Amino acid sequence: LSIIGFFVLTAAGDRYFELSKNIEIFTTLFKEVNTYYVDDVDSQKLTEAAIKGMLEELDPHSVYIAAEQLKRVNEDFQGSFEGIGVEFDIISDTITIVSPISGGPSEKLGILAGDKIVKIDGQSAIKMTREDVPKKLRGQKGTKVTVTIVRAGNKNPMDFEIIRDKIPLYSVDASFMYNNDIGYIKVSRFAATTYDEFAK
């Protein structure tokens, strides 16, 4: 065994030992907390908090995605989702349509930017959290949801029965040529469809 090989193996062994020691410390502490803490402990919540804390020590781009969030993240990267086809914001505790997505079911029914959703399937949508809105509006293609909308200039609320559909999410927002010499392409996000959109 060469001297260089000896040092490489020794360094690798030291790292492995340190890693094992740190895992053992964490496991011991985790068991102690679960056994002796004065209140009941949510083990899964504690584990996720530990993972998040560990990744925060690395850089802003290293994050932990919980199982329930993974479906939403995958939809964003796949370049499509199934729902009613709107971009929204929560303004003064009310779901406000920023823009209906072009070609989506909401646009086809005449839902407009600025419309406010006050009920979903007859239940109040006021003070609904930003995270809960997609849970109510997204769903399988072909399923129905009824939204009650308040629109500026209209005295009475309006009900829209929307049949959910597949909604494309585009990566390339704009593309044009300047003086037939410089090409400009605006990519707003990265997804599975970005390369094909860019090439087109």
pTM given for the model: 0.56
Per the model's pLDDT, the better-predicted residue between 77 and 106 turns out to be 106
Q: What is the average pLDDT across 57-71?
A: 77
Per the model's pLDDT, the better-predicted residue between 76 and 148 turns out to be 148
Q: How far apart are CA 150 and CA 153, in angstroms?
A: 9
Are the C-beta atoms of 164 and 142 separated by less than 8 Å?
Answer: yes
Q: How far apart are CA 106 and CA 91, in angstroms?
A: 20
Residue 157's Cβ-count burial label (10 Å; 0-12, 13-18, 19+) is middle
pLDDT at position 146: 96
Could you report the per-residue pLDDT of 3-52, keeping only the tens digit for each? 556 555 566 667 777 888 889 999 999 999 989 998 988 988 888 888 88
Residue found by looking up tokens 């349509």 in the block: 97
pLDDT at position 73: 61
Q: For residue 46, which of 73, 54, 106 has the smallest C-alpha distance?
A: 54
Per the model's pLDDT, the better-predicted residue between 16 and 186 turns out to be 186
Could you report the per-residue pLDDT of 118-161, keeping only the tens digit for each? 999 999 999 998 888 988 998 899 999 999 999 998 989 999 99
pLDDT at position 191: 78
pLDDT at position 44: 87
